[in-house]
Structure 1
């Protein structure tokens, strides 16, 4: 572990996996050409498809998925760690996993993670999403211990659940990830602050490759792929929604430095039960070892 170049590939994935694989290949070649040893792509690299029937028709199991095969080959060809932010994978019971996959420089699969938190929301303007109606949520917190860094893996909406990233940081993750297909509406409001907050509160790098622009299935995503340092500074950004590659230097020693200056991970204490009082009086739960105030 030490210093390495990381890249985030911003995409505008469509409904055809074959075309998306070509876009993936182009982005990886560009990133590797800039010296990247870790390359991340967005959520749903393989396909963005709102039509449920069409989505199920293109699905493959992981062992047969063309995006998985292409990613493994690209990682080996360029000698890089290639992190597919996610792609839809057929799983049991007629469901789909929104699955992230990390490949090593020899093309081997180092880690997989299924998106844990389902984007079930009703936004302004009638925009509505129900991921839980199609996708099977994951259950495991995943960290990949690589020779570059300990990398915590998450996907998109997970970024709104800080306890997931705290678990990863406490377990030693130095780089946190949030490859995404953020809607334009939520991205304009929250994208930057969420990525920076997860970096600051955990003293970790955050890398978030994003989908951007108007997609074939009608959705519109925000773009603005980011690489953020442990102090919350933006090291690199695609400040638009067009396909792009951004790179930044990751120095894992900076993680220890920031956590030493602001040791909030070490200083955290167990929390007692929340108690409410109609007169507004605050008390400290006895189980937490405190006295009433």
Structure 2
């Protein structure tokens, strides 16, 4: 088990002057070569502004107007929240990211996760994040076998029963990675968020299922066994407002934009990218979501097990809005 703790004393919204800056202040620069943004001529800016004004005049449909504003002035594409949610105040806190080794033994996985959460809390973490599918092997054959009925109560879902107990006992917030969930005749990939009182605060069902076929590399179709969720999940916790996604959800900027427009301070993505997609996109997508939305992004993967049927990439990370790694597990 690897547990990564970071201090989030700077977990506050950057002012517009900073958020629009192209400078990156990092002790470990990505490149030694300076990166320059070309100056856009004034006449070009005026041309696009005129085109935008013409579109505003010509277009009457609400949905089309949003599309045009997104194309010409992206900041105008952010709609107000459907409900006037009051954002909780932010305080200095630590995040524990628990990159767990997963086995076919559910009881062992639950005990391992409990110990990791306790260790993180002992080190001062007030928020702990677990990986995607941490209670069982990640496989289409395994999802029906290991699925738990979360709504039926603790006896039917030992994984979430543990999360409820430990969050209440330690007085911490837990973003409980994800587990296979059974609801009626359907299976979901589900993340549960528990508050400091041990109560279930939110349940996010993976919206974008992982269907991929890269010849000679990897083929996996979650949609063979799982049903896609339909609802974005944003939750107010003792440490701030959190937007939740699972793995493949991170590829879709629109979901992150919804969370940003509704006042999220942090995006949490439990994920299990593999040895093909991991080195290609995992870190890139984390940084993109953080910079695009000027938010902190926490990701948590299962530990890499080269003997498993599905080998996770690992590299659980916390990224800041200025494109800097605050901490990570390998």
TM bin, normalised by shorter chain, reads: 0.7 to 0.9
Q: Which residue of 1 aligns with 2:177?
A: 85
Cα deviation, residue 101, structure 1:
0.4
Aligned residues: 237
Which one of the candidate residues 253, 260, 276 is aligned to 1:162? 253
Contact 2:143/2:225 (8 A) holds in 1: no
1:169-248 → structure 2 map (5 Å cutoff): 169-214=260-305, 217-238=308-329, 240=330
Alpha-carbon displacement from aligned partner over 1:113-148 (angstroms, at most 9, x marks no partner)? 000001110124241011011111111111001121
Q: CA RMSD in A?
A: 1.4
Matches of 1:215 and 1:111, distance apart in 2: 33
Cα deviation, residue 216, structure 1:
6.0
**Residue aligned with 1:199, SS:** helix
Q: Which residue of 1 aligns with 2:242?
A: 151
Q: Which residue of 2 aligns with 1:65?
A: 157
Q: Which residue of 2 aligns with 1:108?
A: 199
Alpha-carbon displacement from aligned partner over 1:199-240 (angstroms, at most 9, x marks no partner)? 0000101000111212664111111110111212110011x2
Contact 1:49/1:217 (8 A) holds in 2: no
TM-score by length of 1: 0.78
Question: Which structure has the larger Rg over C-alpha atoms?
Answer: 2
**Residue aligned with 2:312, SS:** strand
Cα deviation, residue 47, structure 1:
1.1
TM-score by length of 2: 0.69
Q: Which residue of 1 aligns with 2:22?
A: none
Gaps of 5+ in 1: 241-293
Which one of the candidate residues 75, 78, 86 is aligned to 2:167? 75
Contact 2:208/2:248 (8 A) holds in 1: yes
**Residue aligned with 1:224, SS:** coil
Which one of the candidate residues 109, 113, 131 is aligned to 1:24? 113
Matches of 1:11 and 1:230, distance apart in 2: 26
Gaps of 5+ in 2: 1-89
Alpha-carbon displacement from aligned partner over 1:247-267 (angstroms, at most 9, x marks no partner)? xxxxxxxxxxxxxxxxxxxxx
Using a 3 Å threshold, how does the CA distance of structure 1 residues 171 and 51 change in structure 2: closer, same or farther? closer
Structure (1/2) with the larger strand percentage: 1
Alpha-carbon displacement from aligned partner over 1:152-197 (angstroms, at most 9, x marks no partner)? 0000011111110011101111101111111011111111111011
Contact 2:196/2:238 (8 A) holds in 1: no
Which one of the candidate residues 44, 61, 70 is aligned to 2:133? 44
Q: Which residue of 2 aligns with 1:269?
A: none
